[in-house]
Structure 1
């Protein structure tokens, strides 16, 4: 085992320990937990959709404790103001000077709960901090802590009085993850844990260590054929007819942006990292395609009237495009070093 492979295994073991500590509190939700770790390692943000009571807040709060990071939660409401998120300048009568009061966005893990309940002006206040990792208050720029993850939740029920997210903001989320109900066995364990003695989690990593893991993920090797496959998948959402999917043209008004292609590659690197590899495989990309693309497709009115969903369109695209062959480990070892 060379030094690079040994380092990848050690780092993956650290992430497994972190995941194990979170699962001492959070029951089930394996897919959701994996995607949260992928987002952290890839330096992206998560949009989560699920009904209330599925441990979305608990997951992020517990994860913040295991990584010794700061956690803030914002409950989005119709009367929320941009200053309630990023902060503002306040006058101190005692000193006669203005001081900057930072908002809750200054945290390693930020939970934007029910983000679609606030007006577009408030939603857009997150744009700069999600993209640039900084906010501007009274003309001065302030950097947020690193690593920085925004996890925004949406409630699929009770849509009355909500404001759909602008496409410009939706595109800044690396993935949109759907969280479902637990199984009967999982729900029984949930009830036992909630009604039993409280469980305390131990810090496993530091924000500085997670930042170094992000750098390690950036060195994961991606074969050119895999990169080209990601490009073709995203391009097929823009012009399905060019890939033998003429019947989908009428369903897609706008396809995914290049951010989707970047997200597929960065996410595949993070997933390969979690799977103890120093190179990405086709299944790493395929596994992430639904989560990376479902929120980036703007469907036509015809798709809505026919009941066609973004997930169904993504599935058709994956079925139509051939997956590249798995590269041999001997082939990827040299470029990855």
Structure 2
């Protein structure tokens, strides 16, 4: 991709991103970083997990994205009695006009462009795992038949902190299928005032669709073509490896981590950094892009050991320490 083609592709990309953010802002007060990270995940063709206490607008945020992006939207409310077939669909027995009976597959709510898995950690691990194939392969297998899911396809899930009653921690294999985990903070006093004013009046925000499914697919293709300098990709690789204990670069990682990030963590950083570069109107990835997106890409992929849990160490603190400790340039690149 040459400079002229780069410029042509990046400018409408950035304009579309700003337009989407403006539409989301009609419904959301504050949470600019959360909106930005979710949008990076969508444009990177990844799934996003949002965590926060109830009432912070996580569901409204995802609904707003569904409206602004003009996508086929589906919402699944996860509960302890939800079954896998309630998500993927099931085969039903029908009788034709000729009296013959046959099975027909009735699609579940997972068949949509944008699937909201609301309070995903309220359901049992068996039901949570029903989303694994959909999130990774974008297909659903029922019996001997495999059904493709529509493109683009995203799972945006919300969960309450696992300290709350009635929740089931997500299995590590499923957490790894989420490109990002985004923490939704509690609003400030000023933001709380605006929320109360907006939500206790009579008017409701009208969100205008500003991008189609075809538009999103084109933007995803452009983002994938953004170049990454070798020094940056090497840094990402060393950063992911350093999340595992025993490498001596971070005392926090050595002392408090049981198991570090998988290669999917590095993939999420690279793709997210490409999207960030385009969102800022740039045509190549920088170290700053990596540092900005690394916490969202790694925090759910770092498993703490007993000491880390007892000391209430946060994965974000370990990631920040690693970003300071891992050298950006190796001797090979410095020459």
* TM bucket normalised to smaller: over 0.9
Counterpart in the other structure of 1:265:
270
Mapped partners of 2:46, 2:314: distance in 1: 24
Q: Are the aligned partners of 1:88 and 1:138 in contact in 2 as well (CA < 8 Å)?
A: no
Mapped partners of 1:3, 1:296: distance in 2: 36
Query: SS state of the match for residue 105, structure 2?
Result: strand
Q: Are the aligned partners of 1:243 and 1:320 in contact in 2 as well (CA < 8 Å)?
A: no
Which segment is superposed worse, 9-18 or 90-99?
90-99
Instruction: Check 1:287–1:122 CA distance in 2 against 1; reply closer, same or farther (3 A cut).
Output: same
Counterpart in the other structure of 1:294:
299
Instruction: Check 1:236–1:102 CA distance in 2 against 1; reply closer, same or farther (3 A cut).
Output: same
Mapped partners of 1:233, 1:127: distance in 2: 26
Q: CA deviation at 1:94?
A: 4.7
Q: CA deviation at 1:157?
A: 6.3
Q: 2:170 aligns with which of 165, 176, 185?
A: 165
Mapped partners of 1:246, 1:28: distance in 2: 35
Gaps of 5+ in 2: 331-335
Q: Are the aligned partners of 1:272 and 1:280 in contact in 2 as well (CA < 8 Å)?
A: yes
Counterpart in the other structure of 1:83:
85
Q: Does 1:127 align with 2:108?
A: no
Q: 2:111 aligns with which of 102, 106, 115?
A: 106
Counterpart in the other structure of 2:333:
none
Counterpart in the other structure of 1:242:
247
Counterpart in the other structure of 1:199:
205
Counterpart in the other structure of 1:233:
239
Gaps of 5+ in 1: 326-337
Greater than 4 Å deviation, 4+ residue runs: none
Mapped partners of 2:129, 2:239: distance in 1: 29
Q: How many residues align?
A: 324
Query: SS state of the match for residue 74, structure 1?
Result: strand
* Aligned counterparts, 1:167-186, within 5 A: 167-186=172-191
**TM-score calculated relative to the size of structure 2:** 0.92
Q: Are the aligned partners of 1:272 and 1:279 in contact in 2 as well (CA < 8 Å)?
A: yes
RMSD of aligned C-alpha atoms?
A: 1.7
**TM-score calculated relative to the size of structure 1:** 0.92
Mapped partners of 1:114, 1:99: distance in 2: 30
Counterpart in the other structure of 2:74:
72
Mapped partners of 2:299, 2:160: distance in 1: 16
